[in-house]
Amino acid sequence: MQATCELNYARFLRVLPDCDTQHLAFEFTIGTHLSYRITLTETARYTTTLMVEQHNASTPDYLKPSMQVRLYHDARMAEVISSQNTGAFAPSYTYPNRSMRQRNEKQMVNQFLGEWLQFCLKHQPTVTSEA
């Protein structure tokens, strides 16, 4: 999983024009129907916390992906710390479990983040606004 987090960090640096100023929000559009917002919610000397959300008016909220991601600048890693408002992830889970999470749920959400970042880089999103 360390390699996935390192790749995700490098991808974030390519997608975000600025990732060390607190309370910035970047809106990206890909094509005509996909809009995403990345909001920098917290910055510190060695970390930045981001909220990644899809925000299309025509899509119901439960189908819109949302993730809270922490960038570790000293380790050059990006890790999903929360996804779909589910809270923190354990390194692994016994199965079956009360929340019905997969054994490797943490790894899977970080892989999803990597796939999303690759999708963004492939389609060259344009920053439509900075708030």
Q: Which of 93, 115, 88, 116 is nearest to 104 (CA)?
A: 93
Q: Which of 4, 9, 131 is nearest to 70 (CA)?
A: 9
pLDDT at residue 21, as a whole number: 62
pLDDT at residue 114, as a whole number: 95
What is the tally of helices (H) and strands (E) in the chain? 2, 6
Instruction: Report whether 81 contacts 69 (CB < 8 A).
Output: yes
pLDDT at residue 98, as a whole number: 81
Measure the CA–CA gap between 24 and 123, rounded to whole angstroms: 22
Encode pLDDT of 6-48 as tens digits. Answer: 999 999 988 886 666 666 788 877 777 778 888 888 888 899 9
Instruction: Report whether 80 contacts 67 (CB < 8 A).
Output: yes
Measure the CA–CA gap between 29 and 35, rounded to whole angstroms: 4
Q: What tokens appear for 11 in the block?
A: 């991808």
pLDDT at residue 115, as a whole number: 93
Query: Does residue 128 surpass a pLDDT of 60?
Result: no
Instruction: Report whether 73 contacts 98 (CB < 8 A).
Output: no
Encode pLDDT of 85-95 as tens digits. Answer: 677 777 777 87
